[in-house]
């Protein structure tokens, strides 16, 4: 998570609504494609009493930046929300970071979270995708993967939010692309942040509206999800913060495009098919069934205890 600053885009919520309700100027393809070809493949609605260890693990427990990551700052409220907390404990500031590393790692799809942002300065919240091979295969982000910061939010910037990409490691070869978006009212209440990640581009959304689209640094490899609060000067001085302070997360959902299944021709249509065409259609059908099986392999692995065959 770097602190590069790029050009700022100001987006007025009122204009969005006008475009959506009035002229239909917001193109359908710009909206998250969920509910059509895309199917929910992974989610956490945080409905339990504690973090689901089958979906999430703690990350980088111990010192990180200007705080210490501990498990106790990651809680569920029993009302459907994950709470990440930054708090003081003696001379320490403690904060929270979880990820799906080794539990759910995938390539492409639409990733969305619904959150209520932190209220204090000195720490920033983020929903991001990370690659396990950051810094390898320099010059080839498709193979090495890219840090994809779907959102980074600093309270000291008010209604501003960051979308960032980092690839080719964090050293001398480091590459970055990003944008900042101002969304009036962002600091109050709930917001959704989304990323559509395809073979060719990333499309970032806030509350269902496209805020940034880029073809730079497109990863083609499995990556994992991270939710974090981090304490550091980028977000201002934590000494000025009234703690504890929280990031609330209502859900994280991942949708992926189901392989296309050809429509079965009706009786009349079938009659028009020559034998050769019908044979070709069956061959395509078999290929697609193979694709479906292959795609299923990339879905989250069952843990031993979850397997229906385990008992």
CB of 45 to Ca ion, least distance (A): 4
CB of 250 to Ca ion, least distance (A): 4
Report DSSP state, residue 134.
T
CB of 252 to Ca ion, least distance (A): 9
Please provide the distance, in angstroms rounded to a whole number, between the alpha carbons at the two ends of the chain: 43
Q: Radius of gyration (Cα) for the chain, nearest Å?
A: 22
Find out whether 240 and 57 touch, Cβ atoms under 8 Å.
no
CB of 114 to Ca ion, least distance (A): 8
CB of 78 to Ca ion, least distance (A): 11
55 lies in the binding site for Ca ion (CB under 5 A): no
By C-beta, is 44 or 105 nearer to Ca ion? Answer: 44
67 three-state secondary structure: strand
45 lies in the binding site for Ca ion (CB under 5 A): yes
Total residues interacting with Ca ion, rule: CB under 5 A:
5
Candidates 29-37, 43-51, 268-276, 282-290 — which segment interacts with Ca ion by CB under 5 A? Answer: 43-51
Among 250, 253, 255, 256, binds Ca ion (CB under 5 A): 250
Find out whether 103 and 300 touch, Cβ atoms under 8 Å.
yes
By C-beta, is 170 or 190 nearer to Ca ion? Answer: 190
251 lies in the binding site for Ca ion (CB under 5 A): yes
By C-beta, is 147 or 250 nearer to Ca ion? Answer: 250
By C-beta, is 58 or 251 nearer to Ca ion? Answer: 251
Find out whether 254 and 110 touch, Cβ atoms under 8 Å.
yes
Site for Ca ion in 141-200 (CB under 5 A): none
Candidates 20-28, 55-63, 209-217, 247-255 — which segment interacts with Ca ion by CB under 5 A? Answer: 247-255
Task: Name every residue whose Cβ is closer than 8 Å to that of residue 210 and which is 6 or more positions away in sequence.
Answer: 30, 31, 203, 204
Strands 223-231 and 123-130: antiparallel
By C-beta, is 90 or 189 nearer to Ca ion? Answer: 189
CB of 300 to Ca ion, least distance (A): 19
Two tokens at 30?
Answer: 């710009």
Strands 57-58 and 38-44: unpaired
Candidates 41-49, 58-66, 102-110, 211-219 — which segment interacts with Ca ion by CB under 5 A? Answer: 41-49
Find out whether 221 and 143 touch, Cβ atoms under 8 Å.
yes
By C-beta, is 108 or 251 nearer to Ca ion? Answer: 251
Find out whether 202 and 195 touch, Cβ atoms under 8 Å.
yes
Site for Ca ion in 73-132 (CB under 5 A): 80
Distance CA 45, CA 48 (A): 9
CB of 104 to Ca ion, least distance (A): 17
Report DSSP state, residue 73.
G
Q: Give which of 75, 77, 73 is closest to 94, Cα–Cα.
A: 73
> Which residues form the interface with Ca ion (CB under 5 A)?
45-46, 80, 250-251
């Amino acid at each position: 998570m770097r602190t590069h600053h790029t050009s700022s885009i100001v987006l007025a919520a009122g204009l969005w609504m006008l475009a959506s309700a009035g002229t239909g100027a917001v193109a359908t393809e710009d909206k998250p494609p969920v509910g059509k070809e895309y199917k929910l493949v992974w989610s956490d609605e945080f409905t339990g009493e504690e973090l689901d260890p089958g979906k999430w693990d703690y990350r980088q427990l111990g010192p990180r930046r200007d705080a210490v990551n501990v498990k106790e700052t990651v809680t569920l409220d029993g009302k459907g929300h994950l709470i990440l907390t930054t708090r003081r404990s003696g001379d320490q500031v403690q904060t929270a970071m979880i990820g799906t590393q080794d539990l759910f790692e995938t390539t492409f799809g639409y990733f969305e979270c619904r959150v209520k942002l932190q209220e204090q300065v000195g720490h920033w919240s983020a929903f991001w995708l990370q690659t396990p091979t950051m810094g390898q295969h320099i010059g080839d982000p498709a193979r090495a993967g890219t840090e994809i910061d779907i959102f980074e939010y600093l309270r000291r910037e008010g209604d501003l939010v960051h979308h960032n990409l980092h690839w080719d490691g964090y050293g001398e070869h480091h590459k970055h692309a990003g944008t900042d978006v101002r969304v009036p009212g962002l600091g109050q209440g709930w917001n959704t942040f989304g990323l559509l990640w395809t073979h060719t581009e990333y499309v970032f959304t806030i509350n269902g509206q496209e805020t940034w689209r880029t073809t730079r640094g497109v990863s083609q490899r499995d990556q994992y999800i991270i939710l974090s609060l981090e304490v550091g000067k980028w977000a201002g001085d934590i000494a000025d913060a009234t703690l504890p302070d929280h990031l609330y997360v209502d859900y994280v959902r991942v949708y992926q495009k189901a392989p296309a299944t050809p429509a079965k021709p009706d009786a009349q249509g079938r009659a028009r098919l020559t034998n050769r065409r019908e044979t070709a259609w069956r061959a395509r059908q078999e290929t697609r069934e193979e694709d479906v099986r292959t795609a299923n392999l990339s879905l989250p692995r069952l843990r031993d205890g979850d397997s229906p065959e385990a008992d």
